[in-house]
Structure 1
């Protein structure tokens, strides 16, 4: 099991001891009954603001996001941006300007509604949480009004609840999708669960409630760092036999998250599908089967990250109108080896190569199998591999699955 970063553990510990993070039964604005509640408004002493700023600074550095200045939207973002800028300078030797806004523009003195440094370069926004996304969209609009001299670099928040909104995406996912940038967080719901599992102390019932809530409302996502923890070979393609087929963690994690969102799979389902892919593709080294029956011989039409047989590749293409239009063969006919390869060529790009396995799960697995997978555990994984994919579950898939469940 991968451990939390020290700043994450410290942040959760402090939030729990000060009643900022609570467990129980809470009715959210969405109407959902949540087993936990996080109130950033209670970060209201000098000690707590200092702790929070240190956590934000550490999260910013860990993310690797490139930025030239910080911006904190009124009101909760104001102490966050000032304190974080101070910590970046005093403890990390990173000196950057910062700014914040007024709710109403000042009509006298210097005027305007922006206080601090003018927007320049890549602007990283700091906020407490993202719920509806209104505050973040307002910040983005302010940055855009500065013209070409400033660009929106991303957002850092204290907590990502990692759950769906009213639609299939959360407010955070909508911001990422619409603006093409990442939203980073100090902690997420999965981190809270991991913290509880690592500390225990008679909290098994709370862990059970948190995991049940995640299974109903949570969405799974995968970062490049998390994928490398599970599959270390994805860190580089330097030793790949087929460079054009190899994918590193930054590309694969983004496409896998897109597939998870599109197919609405929960963590247990996503873990099973990705574990299957990692095993078949040797950690995304291949998307064509070059080694059929232990021979270095290509098996016509078989490939993508799960090494699906040609009949399923044809089925995938047939199910997608855009791909059907590109096919130059009769998809319903008896295809030659060369024609099978031509169909496979249609789905080897990044937009489809990871998606085939998720489509396979959606369309080829029975509801009974899916229900077992959703319940979790190795029994669900075995049901997927043995009753849907076909054949015994390789030991390596068990290992991948166990690690993926931990990070998703």
Structure 2
């Protein structure tokens, strides 16, 4: 496992971003765990998170003009990332993010920050079924002369074996999706460190249940990204 993955997993465990219980996700999937990135609430923690995103972007070696954050959780991640890019790599990147509701006064509109144009990387926290990403793409596609180059996330839950984000390339939009870690990385880390044995069993059990759930075809990830 790459060092950045190890450090990121250590960080999310220390900050209790990965929590366990009974959760219903936005995709309506029942899950025994939740990746609660919004629990990061200090400047130091957000800056640390931003450095993980910035380092991952540098390693991906993608040419881009600006970053776009998906409201709401993607916004603080986006800001932390652009600050980290400037402070750590001296890369000054323009950014923008969407509002959930269109502003009807002042400058109006539903976009804050840089005018959306050129090659864009979308920033968000977790991939489950792709709904939030699809909605962001709809917003971005309204603007001319733009190209979505990549989508970068913290965690790929890998809820569906058919969708391999690390190699995914859609013909329709020609962008790729990457995550700093995926749930298999967490399982591997816990096994290797021989820690959180109860939680490890929960993750493995959920993974096995997913395989059975996939066979029912009751839920499909969004194939229209």
Instruction: Tell me the TM-score normalised to structure 2 length.
Output: 0.79
Unaligned runs of 5+ in 2: 212-225
Within the alignment, does 1:163 sit opposite 2:159 as a pair?
yes
Asked if 1:127 is matched to 2:120, the reply is no
Determine whether 1:10 maps to 2:7: yes
Equivalents in 2 of 1:69, 1:79: separation in Å?
Answer: 16
State the secondary structure of the residue aligned to 1:89. helix
Secondary structure at the counterpart of residue 118 of structure 1: coil
Pairing 1:213–2:206 present: yes
Structure richer in strand, relative to its length: 2
- Counterpart in 1 of 2:94? 97
- Whether 1:111 aligns to 2:93 is no
The answer for the alignment partner of 1:37 in structure 2 is 34
Deviates more, 1:208-217 or 1:181-190: 208-217
Please state whether the residue corresponding to 2:126 is helix, strand or coil. Answer: coil
- Deviations 1:333-368, CA, capped at 9 Å, x for gaps: xxxxxxxxxxxxxxxxxxxxxxxxxxxxxxxxxxxx
Q: Within the alignment, does 1:52 sit opposite 2:44 as a pair?
A: no
1:398 alignment counterpart: none
Over the residues paired in the alignment, what is the CA RMSD in angstroms?
Answer: 2.8
Does structure 1 conserve the Cα–Cα contact (< 8 Å) formed by 2:128 and 2:158?
no
Task: Indicate the SS of the match to 1:179.
Answer: coil
Aligned residue among 141, 146, 150 for 1:150: 146
Measured against aligned partners, the alpha-carbon deviations of 1:103-159 in whole angstroms (never above 9, x if no partner) come to 222333322221211112110010112334232122212222111x21111211111
| Structure 1 portions without partners, runs of 5+ | 219-408
Larger Rg: 1
CA distance in 2, matches of 1:134, 1:209: 25
Aligned length: 209
1:197 is displaced (CA, Å) by 2.4
Q: Is the 8 A contact 2:71 2:97 kept in 1?
A: yes
Q: Which has the higher helix share?
A: 1
Q: Relative to 1, partners in 2 of residues 1:99 and 1:138: Cα closer, same or farther, differing over 3 Å?
A: same
1:225 equivalent in structure 2: none
The equivalent of 2:223 in structure 1 is none
Partner Cα separation in structure 2 for residue 32 and residue 80 of structure 1: 25
Q: Could you state the TM-score of these two structures normalised by the residue count of structure 1?
A: 0.46
